[in-house]
């Protein structure tokens, strides 16, 4: 009896099965490495500019947060660590070293682009720090620092404005909050207050966010938004006065 030879069809089927198995393993690996804090996509390649402080990205680099939202730092983006208040560098570390370097890079770009609210950007920074291996306590302290003393802005939808302010506005726009760099003593006092809250309450992230919003962020944003509306009303009034003078 002639030996049975496995034909081309069998080999093709075997190859497809092996490919499907590899694809399944890769898919499961991606899901596993996302973990509770998301994942970084790739490794950033940067080079220093002549100022000795600014780095420029040579390739795209991104972070996928736990909700699946992607935060892209495109090729050519510049980062100088400015999104982490410099007063805190000596207390919690600078942006160029440590396990939070990747998080600081993504955070810098997001603070420059301002396509999402500063609250969302700072929240992303916490999870990106944890993704990079930063401890819960240190990541929370860094989150406190950027949320309360770092760059802040609000994104306003014209539908939320009084009619006389929204009449010429068709899309959401950014209002930056004024920077108020803390002194060294203020920075120390602020961090001690945050540390005491963390030590005494051992909060989860949502509890910490509630504390920050009640203590610092929400009131500052509300006050500045009211001030901005007051300034806009004054500008509108002066504009109407100039129009009346011009028509006389």
CB 25 within 8 A of CB 16: no
Going by pLDDT thresholds of 50, 70 and 90, the confidence category of residue 241 is confident
Indicate whether 24 pLDDT > 50.
Answer: no
Arithmetic mean of pLDDT, 219-229: 66
Domain boundaries, the chain: 36-151+178-222
Going by pLDDT thresholds of 50, 70 and 90, the confidence category of residue 166 is low
Query: Tokens 């539908």 belong to which residue?
Result: 159
CB 126 within 8 A of CB 143: yes
What's the pLDDT tens digit per position in 87-127?
777 667 677 777 889 999 999 999 999 999 999 999 999 99
What's the pLDDT tens digit per position in 182-215?
677 777 788 889 999 999 999 999 999 998 888 7
Element (H, E) at 48: strand 46-48
Going by pLDDT thresholds of 50, 70 and 90, the confidence category of residue 237 is confident
Arithmetic mean of pLDDT, 31-45: 80
Q: Quick one: which of 217, 151, 144 has its CA closest to 178?
A: 151
Of 3-7, 78-82, 95-99, 146-150, which range is least confident?
3-7
């Amino acid at each position: 009896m002639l030996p049975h030879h496995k034909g081309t069809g069998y080999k093709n089927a075997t190859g497809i099965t092996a490919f499907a198995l590899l694809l399944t393993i890769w898919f499961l690996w991606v899901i596993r490495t996302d973990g509770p804090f998301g994942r970084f996509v790739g490794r950033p390649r940067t080079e220093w500019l002549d100022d000795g402080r600014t780095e420029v990205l040579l390739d795209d680099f991104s972070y996928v947060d736990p909700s699946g939202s992607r935060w892209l730092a495109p090729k050519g983006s510049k980062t100088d660590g400015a999104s982490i208040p410099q007063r805190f560098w000596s207390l919690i570390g600078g942006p160029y070293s440590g396990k939070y370097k990747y998080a600081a890079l993504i955070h810098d770009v997001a603070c420059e682009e301002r396509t999402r609210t500063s609250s969302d950007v700072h929240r992303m920074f916490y999870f990106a720090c944890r993704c990079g291996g930063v401890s819960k306590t240190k990541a929370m302290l860094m989150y406190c620092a950027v949320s309360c003393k770092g760059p802040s802005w609000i994104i306003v939808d014209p539908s939320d404005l009084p009619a006389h302010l929204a009449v010429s506005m068709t899309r959401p726009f950014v209002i930056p909050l004024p920077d108020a760099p803390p002194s060294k003593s203020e920075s120390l006092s602020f961090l001690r207050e945050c540390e005491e809250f963390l030590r005494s309450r051992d909060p989860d992230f949502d509890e910490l966010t509630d504390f920050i919003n009640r203590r610092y962020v929400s009131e500052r944003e509300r006050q500045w938004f009211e001030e901005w509306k007051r300034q806009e009303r004054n500008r509108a009034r002066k504009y109407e006065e100039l129009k009346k003078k011009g028509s006389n």
